[in-house]
Chain A
Amino acid sequence: MKILYFAWLRQRTGTGEENLSPPPEVTDVGGLMRWLSARSPGHAQAFADPAQVRCAVNQDFCGPDHPVSSGDEVAFFPPVTGG
């Protein structure tokens, strides 16, 4: 699974991209966030306030209940501020 981080999530985790194999019990975005939080203090800080984290699975915005599986590209980022 390809995990991408943008903006302050990238700064806090210290990486823009990592390729990981979450355990089978990680089945949705929310579960993935909890699992990723345990990877490092920086990851824990990045996901400390889940209400400030948005997600896209395979480049479509989605919520925490969206399923994830091994071949997915999953991105985490703050609420968008373009325009």
Chain B
Amino acid sequence: MSETPVTAVPTIRVQEAGFDLAAETAALSAGRADVGGIASFIGLCRADDGLQALVLEHYPGMTERAIAGIAAQAAARWPLTGCTVIHRVGRILPGEGIVLVLAASRHRTAALEACAFLIDWLKTGAPFWKREEFAGGAERWVAARGEDEARARGWAERRG
């Protein structure tokens, strides 16, 4: 079989509702037999320091556009048969999922690398902001981490 990249249409959703890993994974291989591997990443809400909830804000319109741009970069770099990015907004409780990233390809390396690329860039290249709520009403905006920025920038120097 050839290694010709398949033009994949990414699934991108920004939503308040939770997501279903099994259903989203199944959708990437439904009705086709050319998918050899699907890599996944799920970001979860931790209860650090007594956190009671995370509240995620975003920039409607730009968010979807930014994620589509990141997905297009991944598809240009790796021969993906599909990819899925679902990012929740609104109030998220400890233990709940925040973000789901799936990357599907004929082979594992492309799927795993593209999945890592997508989450690294989602952290630094899409307009979301997290606010932490604590017991007693205290709240604070999460500060950006320099290491996240460095990881995303690092993809420019690597060759996938």
Contacts and interface: CB of A to CB of B under 8 A. Distances in A.
A76 to B, nearest CB: 11
Contacts of A75: 59, 62, 127
Interface string A38-59: 0000000000000000001001
B122 interface: yes
Interface stretch (A4-12, A18-26, A27-35, A64-72): A4-12
A7 B126 contact: no
Please classify how large the interface on chain B is, using the bins under 10, 10 to 19, 20 to 34, 35 or more.
20 to 34
A35 B61 CA distance: 26
B129 A78 contact: yes
Nearest to A82: B128
A47 to B, nearest CB: 16
A45 to B, nearest CB: 14
A7 B98 contact: no
Interface string B73-113: 00000000000000100000000001100000000000000
A78 B143 CA distance: 8
Contacts of B131: 7
Interface of A: 4, 6-8, 56, 59, 61, 75, 77-83
Interface of B: 43, 56-59, 61-62, 65-66, 87, 98-99, 119, 122-131, 141-144, 148
